[in-house]
Amino acid sequence: MEPRRKLATKTIYPIGSSVQTTGRHAIVLLHGFTQNSAVMAPFARLLANLCDRTVILVDLPGHGESSHLVLDLRESAEVLAEMFGPSIFVGYSLGGRILFHLAARHPEIVTALVVMGSNPGIADPVARSDRLGADLALAAAIDKDPSRNGLENFLMRWLASPIFGGIDPSRAGLAARLSNDPHALAESMARTSLGTQADMRSALANFSGEILYLYGARDEKFAAISSQLVQEVGAHLRTLAIEGSGHWVIGEAPYRSAKAIAAFIDECAIS
């Protein structure tokens, strides 16, 4: 059956491979907020060759060529389930939060799950409500000036926030991020705010597949989240700190991140 709503995708093959010869579980790669498949393409090429697998890049709702779609986290997971069969799913930040919902609702298609710097949810309802309010204010700020200059000013402030540790915008794919539609980004922020997300820890504990949780060694917030998940989810979740990186692990330490994912897939003996 054709999916009712379809996200834009781009397929990257390993060097020397083709549609006819690949024949292994593909990797579906999801980006973070304000990114798109163009930001992730260099990492996808590296991952395809290290893993010798097809990598399918996805433009999430409100981003890239999927900017016309306005979906929340659960709806985004449902569209992924409509589009893909059993695959290895890899998501960074927002992409990982969508994959938490996919693993909870459609575990049969998640051959293995890799998440990078993704928050499983805020347990305290008051803190969750506060986060929603802050994200709605952020969405309004993005929408206030939808010009290219307005988007660039927002992105510069976004990338200068403490979580990114002052990363050079050129290393964060600023040019590709600027191709996004500001209004669509604002809609995405409002619909997928961490304040709208249920606490996914119990769902991850019930997921029977293997999970790899990556985080930057300099990312103190997600290092703490990683430690909590080890205790709360179970032995099927393993964590790894990526040396030389903060929150933007794919951009700051792409080779180490890709090698960690390749090793995880090999250890899981996925065909």
Note the pLDDT of residue 1: 39
Q: What is the mean pLDDT of residues 166-185?
A: 91
Residues 233-249, mean pLDDT to the nearest whole number? 94
Q: Is 245:256 a contact under the CB 8 Å cutoff? A: yes
Q: Is 90 exceeded by the pLDDT of residue 16?
A: no
Q: E strands within the chain? A: 9-12, 27-30, 55-58, 87-92, 110-116, 211-216, 237-242
What pLDDT shows up at residue 95? 98
Q: How confident is the model at residue 18 (pLDDT cuts 50, 70, 90)?
A: low
Cα separation, 92 vs 164, whole angstroms: 13
- Residue 2 has a pLDDT of 45
Domains and CATH numbers, the chain: 9-123+198-268 (3.40.50.1820), 127-189 (no CATH)
CA 32 to chain centre: 5
**H/E element, 116:** strand 110-116
Average pLDDT over all residues of the chain? 94
State the average pLDDT over residues 170-197. Answer: 95
pLDDT band of residue 4 (cuts 50, 70, 90) is low
Is residue 20 scored above 70 in pLDDT?
Answer: no
Q: Between the ranges 76-80, 171-175, 242-246, where is the mean pLDDT highest?
A: 76-80
Q: What is the mean pLDDT of residues 96-107?
A: 98
Cα(63)–Cα(43) distance, rounded to whole angstroms?
18
Give the pLDDT score at 167: 83
